[in-house]
Structure 1
């Protein structure tokens, strides 16, 4: 017997996030129909969010006082975060990751792409942490864990020896390749592009030529603006050059990066990006959803698609006075405004 649910309100439809008054019929998780209505309920309906870059294992190091540059904090194998991870019991690691997954779930995030240290056991620990949750990780493993996950997560092409062999093995196994590039400088971007990755992370200091290549080769970029500012790799709204990325036709996703420093809340990430750039609210919201393509089932609300959906009731707060719902979603919304989540 099919389970049927209906949602009525102002919905953001398709990849264009076109705002329409609609009645959406869902059967067994699949959107069966989207019907236009004249006087919809005062509810906002939108796709779930997808966090395109996280390190949630680093929850165990949350807000640890640090004194040093980016390399001394996060570069494997002996950066501060790696030292803390090695000293953490497996049960504590799993519990911490489970708690952070719960936080993301409450924000309306239906999936996330995580770089997971610890080899095969690290990947296994994250899968165990996700048990009982409706949110699903796309895992980029390391140290052998890439062969037991969805992809290979590379810190930087300059950090790993025998990288050619490891990438080739991951490709033979049908795994995605994701690489940190251009975070502290632009010197590792060209090397990263040589591997034809499925995803680049950061590109904080990318040059126009790098971005044109990403656009031409359809290599998406996951940016993490708050992390870049907090870790001191930029103090400029032009780094990452996200406006140029959009102008050149790059696909841009949004991530929160390291749970050691940044709460994995895409509402905060979107609001921050809105504050420091002139990007349209619609473009920023697209970034917060578009990373779902990494899960192979993008979240756009379209007929025939199995898309996770969330709703917001503006009547429950001052949001009812909004004259631009999409701008309000990006700049003002958060956990407290979510009315219903259907994953």
Structure 2
């Protein structure tokens, strides 16, 4: 691939420092960042990583937007599971492909998915990913962990063989992830006992549990819009994202079930900012940092693979912004994107 250059206001490194200049990309790697004046209204932002999805739920989109959490999503007889079992494979694959296209069009270039349906469920997502440039971490269950990149368990209280599924994943050197603390804190300690690589939700984690999670260095995928839609929170303290940061946890942003929430990380960031009032830079970091789950980094630095979004501020009122990070988190959307640069090389 020939050398390519991109002039813009660039958000550099994990600090997201705003610098005017030029990025040089050679063979898909950032080989130079040269500061200096540029004649463009563009911004370059790290690409986003959706740290928690259920893409299979695309086929159940908006069939139920409220209700009891267990009735809707608890395995094996929740509404979503009944719909998934009744859905023909070709429609399931097509639905996941459509949601992958939505993510790619909205600045997301990687995701971590909890994939129901055992081995066939994982293989269906792999089929949907054919031809897609997106990076993925596929967390199967019920035998799907053998074919995926790890195991994604609903909750220690939902299934009887969590220990067996975790053991299979660990034996194969694969990742272990748990939903925990979505509606109460009662299953968080049980999940922590397995020393997982990722926790999802922790909406009602206690201070003691947050300290334990921070000490163990386990990242937490928070799904704020989903939590609000499903009625497990009605305030900024749940999920306790501010406390997570104060205790030294690593919160990551995810969109959760496509059944309820569009997998658009820009909508997620804007909602999180509205609810939590956290500094926009913290929110953007949480939307980027999940790439570490897939063994990558999307932060823009020399020597790193190039995965970034180019935003044309002249297409909208963003050209009047004096704070690119705040405006990206609170205002930017699909219509502002000029290009997404994705490094498709395998790790």
Contact 2:309 2:337 in 1 (8 A): yes
1:53-202 counterparts in 2 under 5 A?
53-65=52-64, 68-202=67-201
**Aligned-pair distance for 1:65?**
3.0
Residue 133 of structure 1: CA displacement?
1.4
The answer for unaligned runs of 5 or more in structure 1 is none
The CA distance in 2 between the partners of 1:212 and 1:178, in whole Å, is: 18
Residue in 2 that maps onto 1:10:
9
User: Match for residue 232 of structure 2?
Assistant: 233
> Structure 1, residues 260-283: CA drift from partner, whole Å, max 9, x if none?
000000100000011111210000
Tell me what 2:322 maps to: 323
Q: Which runs of 5+ in 2 are unaligned?
A: 343-347
Q: Secondary structure at the match of 1:188?
A: helix
SS in 2 for 1:304: coil
In structure 2, distance between residues paired with 1:41 and 1:65 = 45
CA distances 1:228-258 after superposition (whole Å, capped 9, x unpaired): 0000011111100000001111111000000
Q: For 1:327-338, list aligned pairs within 5 A.
A: 327-338=326-337
Q: Partners of 1:280 and 1:60 in 2: how far apart? A: 35
Looking at structure 2, the residues matched to 221 and 55 of structure 1 have their Cα atoms a distance apart, in angstroms, of: 16
Moved over 6 A (4+): none
Per the normalisation by structure 1, the TM-score is 0.98
Could you tell me how far apart the structure 2 residues matched to 1:135 and 1:162 are? 32
CA contact under 8 A between 2:179 and 2:199: conserved in structure 1?
A: yes
In 2, the alpha carbon distance for the partners of 1:150 and 1:95 equals 22
User: CA–CA distance in 1 between the matches of 2:307 and 2:88?
Assistant: 34
Per-residue deviation, residues 181-209 of structure 1 (Å, max 9, x unmatched): 00010000011111110000000000011
How does 1:254-273 map onto structure 2 within 5 Å? Answer: 254-273=253-272
User: Matches of residues 183-332 of structure 1 in structure 2 within 5 Å?
Assistant: 183-332=182-331
**Distance in 2 separating the partners of 1:246 and 1:143:** 33
Does the 8 Å contact 2:142/2:165 carry over to 1?
Answer: no
Structure 1 counterpart of 2:345: none
Give aligned pairs, total. 342
Which residue does the alignment assign to 2:43? 44
Structure 1: distance between partners of 2:276 and 2:308: 27
2:9 touches 2:42 (CA, 8 Å); kept in 1? Answer: yes
Pairwise CA distance, 1:165: 2.1
TM-score w.r.t. the length of structure 2 is 0.97
Change (3 A) 1:114 1:323: same
User: What's the C-alpha RMSD, in Å, of the aligned pairs?
Assistant: 1.0
* Residues in 1 aligned to 2:322 and 2:15: alpha-carbon distance in whole angstroms: 19
Alignment partners' CA distance in 2, 1:194 and 1:40: 55
Partners of 2:39 and 2:206 in 1: CA distance: 46
Deviations for 1:95-144, whole angstroms, at most 9, x for unmatched residues? Answer: 00000100000001101100001111111100110112111221000110
Matches of 2:147 and 2:64 in 1, distance apart? 33
Secondary structure in structure 2 of the residue aligned to 1:187: helix
Aligned residues of 1:66 and 1:73 also touching (Cα < 8 A)? no
- Given that residues 44 and 313 in structure 1 are in contact (C-alpha distance below 8 angstroms), is that contact kept between their aligned partners in structure 2? yes
Q: How far apart are 1:40 and its partner, in Å?
A: 5.2
User: Match of 1:59, SS?
Assistant: helix
